[in-house]
């Protein structure tokens, strides 16, 4: 008898893949605060060029924009680097010197 009950419940519950697919289809909702990607900067050597720093904290290509901000109300920040140098990109997304780290993460 208990085995039959389990089998019937499985028929009533959505599969894990259905749940995951429904979650993935949720539209991005407007955000009032950016996501904190991490509470320390991303330090890297960069070459001269134009970069698009992620301001929303959702990008999977941190510290740069991958388009994940769509629908959040946030936009990436364009940054022109004129000479090769080491940059400490803000990764908490709360810096007062965006897109660069100013230590704000230590108070979050
Ligand atoms: S993904 Fe964060 S600003 Fe574009």
Inside any domain, residue 14: no
Inside any domain, residue 74: yes
User: Average of pLDDT values for 47-73?
Assistant: 97
How far is ligand 1, taken at its centre, from the CA of residue 55, in Å?
Answer: 5
Instruction: Supply the pTM of this predicted model.
Output: 0.74
Inside any domain, residue 47: yes
Per DSSP, the three-state class of 12 is helix
Pocket of ligand 1 (CB under 6 A): 54-56, 58-59, 65-69, 74, 76
Choose the residue to mutate in 35, 42, 58 for probing ligand 1, maximizing ligand atoms within 8 Å of C-beta. 58
Inside any domain, residue 8: no
- By the 10 Å C-beta count (0-12 exposed, 13-18 middle, 19+ buried), 53 is classed as buried
User: Average of pLDDT values for 14-21?
Assistant: 47
* Domains in the chain, number: 1
Query: Do you find a cis peptide bond into 76, omega within 30 degrees of 0?
Result: no
Inside any domain, residue 3: no
Inside any domain, residue 78: yes
Domain membership of residue 102 as a residue range = 28-107
Q: Whose CA is nearest to atom 4 of ligand 1?
A: 65
Q: Tell me the pLDDT band of 30, cut-offs 50, 70 and 90.
A: confident
Residue 26, pLDDT score: 47
């Amino acid at each position: 008898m208990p085995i039959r009950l389990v089998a019937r419940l499985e028929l009533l519950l959505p599969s894990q893949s259905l749940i995951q697919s429904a979650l993935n289809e949720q539209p991005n909702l407007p955000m009032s605060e950016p996501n904190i990607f991490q509470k320390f900067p991303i330090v890297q050597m960069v070459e001269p060029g134009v970069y698009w720093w992620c301001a929303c904290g959702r990008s999977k290509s941190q510290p740069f924009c991958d388009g994940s901000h769509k629908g959040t109300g946030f936009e990436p920040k364009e940054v022109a680097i004129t000479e090769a140098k080491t940059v400490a990109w803000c990764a908490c997304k709360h810096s007062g010197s965006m897109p660069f780290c100013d230590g704000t993460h230590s108070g979050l």
